Amino acid sequence: MNKSFIIIAFAISFAIGGCGSKDEGDNNSKNSLQILADKEKEINDREARVRLKEIELEEREKRLNLVENGQTPADTTTMSQTPTDTSKQTADKKETKQETKKEIQKEITKKFENPTATVKDYYEYIKRAINETGNFDANMKKAHNYFPSRSSDKMKANYKNVKNFTIVEEPKVVSQKDGNATVTSKVKQVDIIKKEGKDEEVTRTMTVTYKLTANSKGEWVITSNLVKIE
């Protein structure tokens, strides 16, 4: 009787323990999926803001063109009745239009974006390229959109043998004026190198300073970086 009771008690204990492990595994899995979903939503929200910038810039340019032609935004009946300009007047109008467009671009950039968002998104696609099996090229292509002045092939070569990439200190703005900004951050990178025919891990902590410029769409893009290895 006592022996049977012990066996039954052990079985119940094992079942409870097993359920606890399964529940814990399920919770970890749900947490990981939630983190991925939140990150995807964050990127989608930023892409939506970029599209809103494009729409606003297009609308502002349309209104600017109408004013130049002597019209109000509601008046489109006199499109062909543009007075003949002298070459000097045309040049002055063109210069004024370019200056006005620059001011619009600066205003929209300040309204919609922070330059640190560009660096964060750049890092996100680098991490995805490293961590997602089979998606290296696709994610590096997306990362390249944030650093277009850098060679795509060189960028891939720099991260091809990286095992892990983490952000130690989040990007922060050092300076920002008009359409130019400087952002700094600290990252840790684990590289796989060949040494005497064997793979060896090398960990580097780096402070990276980025120069950014607002492009014609009002988007911040990285134009150069300076890496200081600690």
* Helices 115-131 + 152-159 axis angle, to 10: 60
Task: Quote the percentage of the chain above a pLDDT of 70.
Answer: 57
- d(C-alpha 107, C-alpha 88), whole Å: 29
pLDDT at position 14: 46
Q: Residue 188: which of 201, 204, 202 has the closest Cα? A: 204
Per the listing, tokens 């990150």 go with: 39
Burial class (CB in 10 A: 0-12, 13-18, 19+), 222: buried
Banded model confidence at residue 194, pLDDT cuts 50, 70, 90: confident
- Please check whether residue 159 is in contact with residue 130, taking contact to mean a CB–CB distance below 8 angstroms: yes
- d(C-alpha 82, C-alpha 69), whole Å: 6
Long-range contacts of 154-160 (CB under 8 A, 24+ apart): 159/126, 159/129, 159/130, 160/136
- d(C-alpha 25, C-alpha 56), whole Å: 47
What tokens appear for 225 in the block?
Answer: 């970086």
- Please check whether residue 156 is in contact with residue 138, taking contact to mean a CB–CB distance below 8 angstroms: no
Neighbouring-strand partners of residue 167: 187
Residues 151-191 have pLDDT tens digits of 999 999 999 999 999 999 999 999 999 889 999 999 999 99
97 versus 220: the higher-pLDDT residue is 220
Banded model confidence at residue 83, pLDDT cuts 50, 70, 90: low
Which contiguous run of DSSP H or E holds residue 64? helix 2-68
